[in-house]
């Protein structure tokens, strides 16, 4: 076990954990953003550089700081490490630079893009980026192509995070697409159009942090914030069958995997579940999926108020208030204070 | 007695002049006659139009660009910004050969504003990233049925040969933004 401090908060994690995962254990605002790291895919990370953090103290044994900002998704923790993320102006400045670089070739076509509203790059640039670009040269553009009959590749939007390549490597038998060329010419491609065709290829859409890989069956159907996400499942021989249905009225417009709070799918779903069951009767709907209120998707107010839960909460508070009165009448404020802390 | 403003009502008996009510009636009639000669607060609407501000927020228009292609790309930002939830739309993909009709690769096949719901706040105009929707100084027409107040693209999109001037409603910020030719959608 290693004990480290991230932005002044102490946390104890097993040896070999990365700084990013240690920060995720704490949660909240100090978690560095990640565009290429994906917890449920091996070997990801280290490419996009948005998760850069400052290591002010390497370890308890060797307290020297690390000479440069490090990618938190690839740096393992050490006992006594002191990490600065949002408390360091250097990190914020560097992150701003990284976002600006990611946006050099990224088109400003969010009004058209199907990913808008659930796009990591959109969130990131909103938080860290500039509203203007200093880049004056011709941006690189590509023709949109269909890779597989259900997936659209819009290479112009790609930020080369390699996530989709890892999906193909780790979830499917053989990978038929990859990154061609190097440097500023690098691009995701299949060489032959419509070549991606296997059972788990659809997960490329879910892992794509931007709108480079999008669902052709959902193309321009609706903006995500007008659809209602519902947790649902079905018996599937190929995958867990646990999905999110994105619905408008009773129509299932899109099926995706379930993303956690970091926007990462833990249980990948097969193409049959994703593309071929757009009928509500094929699914057992569990209920509305909770979406963080910071997301524009929560604008839809699809979640009904749980009256039983609300009643319980009111009862709990009433009980607490009467208990508090009782306690103050009795012997001590200390107990009341504890009680209040538990509430917070 | 919380505010100390309560008054005790005194009901004193009326005297003779008050009891015959005539002076009060005459007084009321004088007021009525006086109003007949005052300037009227109303105008006879269709014939006479009241002067309105240059940035009046009236009936919406969906603008076309300089080549006559529709600017709206059905991004849904106006609908999500709308506090009255008056706007609905359906998007579609532009086919080859329709480039002169729609500016972007996605466009709105259906775009409806419920004018009975609309509160003319102008937030849709503010939210629009494509400078497609503007409120104009036109007053929307009246009708007999509720359905007729759901304005579709036929009423909202401006005619190619009959453009609607919205320059007065373009804010300095928008005009400044348009100068940046480097931003891809200004090209």
CB contact under 8 A, B74 and A220: yes
Q: Look at residue A302 in the predicted model and tell me its pLDDT.
A: 63
Give the one of B73, B79, B180 whose C-beta lies nearest to A111's C-beta: B73
* A221 close to B (CB below 8 A): yes
What value does the CA radius of gyration of chain A take, rounded to a whole number of Å?
A: 23
Domain with CATH 3.10.20.740 in chain A: 2-88
* A141 close to B (CB below 8 A): no
- With bands split at pLDDT 50, 70 and 90, how would you rate the model's confidence at A333? very low
Distance of CA B2 to CAs B5, B6, B112, Å?
8, 9, 53
Q: Does the model's pTM come out above 0.80?
A: no
* A130 close to B (CB below 8 A): no
- Give the integer Cα–Cα distance in Å for A168 and A116: 24
Lookup result for tokens 């009502």: B9
Q: Look at residue B89 in the predicted model and tell me its pLDDT.
A: 93
SS3 call for A275: helix
Nearest-Cα distance to chain A for B38, in Å, is 52
Q: Look at residue A325 in the predicted model and tell me its pLDDT.
A: 54
Six-digit token string for A34:
């990640």
- Give the integer Cα–Cα distance in Å for A305 and A310: 8
- In this predicted structure, the answer to whether residue A68 has a pLDDT above a threshold of 90 is yes
Which of A259-263, A285-289, B3-7, B108-112 shows the lowest mean pLDDT across its residues? B3-7
Residues of A whose CB is below 8 A from B104: 109, 111-112
Lookup result for tokens 């739309």: B89
CB contact under 8 A, B106 and A226: no
CB contact under 8 A, B75 and A296: no
More confident residue, A343 or B117: B117
B70: which residues sit within 8 A by CB, 6+ positions away? B62, B64, B101, B102, B103, B107, B108, B132, B157
- Give the integer Cα–Cα distance in Å for A145 and A130: 30
Residues of B whose CB is below 8 A from A220: 74, 91-93, 106
More confident residue, A297 or A260: A260
Question: Number of Cβ pairs closer than 8 Å across A and B?
Answer: 47
Nearest-Cα distance to chain A for B123, in Å, is 16
A296: which residues sit within 8 A by CB, 6+ positions away? A117, A224, A225, B80
* A112 close to B (CB below 8 A): yes
Nearest-Cα distance to chain A for B79, in Å, is 9
Mean of all residue pLDDT scores within chain A: 84
Element (H, E) at A260: none
More confident residue, B168 or B93: B93
CB contact under 8 A, A112 and B76: no
- In this predicted structure, the answer to whether residue B109 has a pLDDT above a threshold of 60 is yes
Give DSSP secondary structure letters for A198-240. STTTTHHHHH-SSSSEEEGGGTTT--GGGSEEEEEE---SSS-
More confident residue, A195 or B101: B101
- What pairing do the DSSP bridges indicate for beta strands B106-114 and A251-256? unpaired
Chain A residue with CA closest to B182: the answer is: A136
Residue of B129, B182, B183, B187 to mutate when probing chain A, most A C-beta within 10 A: B182
Fold of A2-88: Ubiquitin-like (UB roll) (3.10.20)
- Give the integer Cα–Cα distance in Å for B103 and B68: 9
CB contact under 8 A, B76 and A136: no
* A223 close to B (CB below 8 A): yes
Residue of A103, A106, A108, A112 to mutate when probing chain B, most B C-beta within 10 A: A112
A289: which residues sit within 8 A by CB, 6+ positions away? A229, A230, A231, A244, A258
> The complex's ipTM?
0.74
Neighbour tally for A119: CB within 10 Å: 21
Q: Look at residue A344 in the predicted model and tell me its pLDDT.
A: 35
Contact A15, A2 (CB under 8 A): yes
CB contact under 8 A, B92 and A110: no
The mean per-residue pLDDT over the stretch B153-179 comes to 84
Q: Look at residue A339 in the predicted model and tell me its pLDDT.
A: 42
Domain with CATH 3.30.70.20 in chain A: 103-218
Residues of B whose CB is below 8 A from A109: 104, 184-185
Q: Look at residue A335 in the predicted model and tell me its pLDDT.
A: 42
- H-only helix segments in chain A: 19-26, 89-102, 120-128, 163-171, 203-207, 271-275, 307-329, 333-343
Nearest-Cα distance to chain B for A301, in Å, is 12
Q: Look at residue A192 in the predicted model and tell me its pLDDT.
A: 52
Chain B residue with CA closest to A104: the answer is: B183
CB contact under 8 A, A136 and B182: yes
pLDDT (tens digit per residue) in A135-173: 888 888 888 888 878 888 898 999 988 898 888 888 877
Give the one of B75, B180, B183 whose C-beta lies nearest to A111's C-beta: B75
pLDDT (tens digit per residue) in A191-228: 555 566 678 888 989 999 999 999 999 999 999 999 99
CB contact under 8 A, B91 and A220: yes
Give the one of B76, B79, B93 whose C-beta lies nearest to A219's C-beta: B93
* Percent of chain A predicted with pLDDT > 70: 88
Interface of B to A at Cβ within 8 Å reads 73-77, 79-80, 91-93, 104-106, 129-130, 180, 182-185
Nearest-Cα distance to chain B for A223, in Å, is 7
Q: Look at residue A331 in the predicted model and tell me its pLDDT.
A: 44
Answer CATH for A103-218 from 3.40.50.150, 3.30.70.20, 3.30.450.20, 1.10.150.120: 3.30.70.20
pLDDT (tens digit per residue) in A106-134: 888 889 999 998 898 988 888 887 777 78
Contact A170, A176 (CB under 8 A): no
Give the one of B91, B93, B185 whose C-beta lies nearest to A108's C-beta: B185
CB contact under 8 A, A226 and B79: yes
Torsional class of A38: left (φ above 0), alpha (ψ -120 to 50), beta (otherwise): beta
- With bands split at pLDDT 50, 70 and 90, how would you rate the model's confidence at B40? confident
Residues of A whose CB is below 8 A from B79: 226
């Amino acid at each position: 076990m290693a004990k480290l401090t991230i932005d002044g908060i102490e946390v104890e994690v097993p040896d070999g954990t990365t700084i990013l995962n240690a920060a995720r254990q704490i949660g909240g605002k100090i978690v560095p953003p990640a565009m290429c790291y994906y917890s449920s895919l091996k070997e990801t990370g280290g490419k996009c550089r948005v998760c850069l953090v400052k290591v002010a103290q390497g370890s308890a044994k060797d307290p020297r700081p690390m000479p440069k900002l490090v990618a938190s998704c690839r740096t393992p923790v050490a006992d006594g490490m002191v990490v600065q993320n949002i408390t360091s102006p250097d990190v914020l400045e560097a992150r701003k630079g990284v976002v600006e670089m990611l946006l050099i070739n990224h088109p400003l076509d969010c009004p058209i893009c199907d990913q808008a509203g659930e796009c990591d790059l959109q969130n990131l640039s909103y938080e860290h980026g500039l509203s203007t670009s200093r880049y004056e040269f011709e941006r690189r553009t590509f023709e949109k192509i269909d890779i597989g009959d259900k997936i659209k590749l819009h290479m112009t939007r790609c930020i080369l995070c390699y996530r989709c390549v890892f999906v193909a490597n780790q979830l499917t038998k053989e990978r038929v697409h990859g990154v061609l060329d190097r440097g500023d010419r690098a691009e995701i491609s299949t060489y032959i159009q419509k070549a991606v065709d296997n059972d788990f290829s659809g997960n490329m859409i879910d892992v794509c942090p931007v709108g480079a890989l999008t669902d052709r069956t959902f193309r321009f159907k609706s903006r995500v914030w007008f659809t209602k996400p519902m947790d649902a499942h079905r018996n599937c021989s190929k995958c867990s069958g646990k999905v999110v249905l994105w619905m408008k009225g009773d129509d299932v417009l899109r099926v995706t995997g379930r993303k956690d709070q970091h926007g990462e799918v833990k249980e990948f779903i097969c193409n049959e579940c994703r593309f071929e069951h757009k009928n509500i009767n094929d699914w057992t709907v569990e209920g509305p999926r909770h979406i963080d209120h910071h997301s524009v998707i929560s604008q839809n107010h699809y979640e009904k108020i749980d009256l039983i839960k609300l009643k319980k909460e009111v009862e709990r508070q009433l009980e607490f208030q009467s208990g508090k009165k009782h306690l103050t009448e009795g012997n001590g404020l200390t107990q009341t204070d504890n009680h209040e802390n538990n509430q917070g | 007695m919380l505010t100390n403003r309560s008054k005790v009502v005194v009901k004193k008996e009326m005297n003779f002049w008050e009891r015959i009510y005539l002076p009060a009636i005459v007084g009321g009639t004088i007021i009525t006659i006086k109003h007949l000669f005052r300037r009227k607060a109303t105008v006879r609407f269709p014939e006479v139009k009241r002067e309105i501000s240059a940035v009046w927020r009236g009936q919406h228009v969906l603008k076309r660009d300089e080549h006559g292609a529709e600017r709206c790309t059905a991004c849904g930002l106006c609908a999500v910004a709308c506090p009255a939830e008056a706007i609905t739309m359906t998007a579609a993909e532009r086919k080859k050969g329709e480039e002169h009709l729609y500016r972007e690769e996605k466009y709105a096949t259906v775009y409806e504003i419920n004018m009975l719901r609309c509160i003319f706040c102008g937030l849709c105009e503010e939210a629009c990233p494509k400078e497609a929707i503007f409120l104009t100084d036109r007053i929307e027409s009246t009708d007999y049925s509720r359905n007729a107040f759901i304005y579709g693209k036929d009423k909202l999109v401006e005619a190619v040969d009959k453009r609607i001037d919205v320059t007065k409603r373009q804010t300095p910020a928008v005009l400044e933004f348009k100068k940046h030719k480097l931003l891809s959608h200004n090209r």
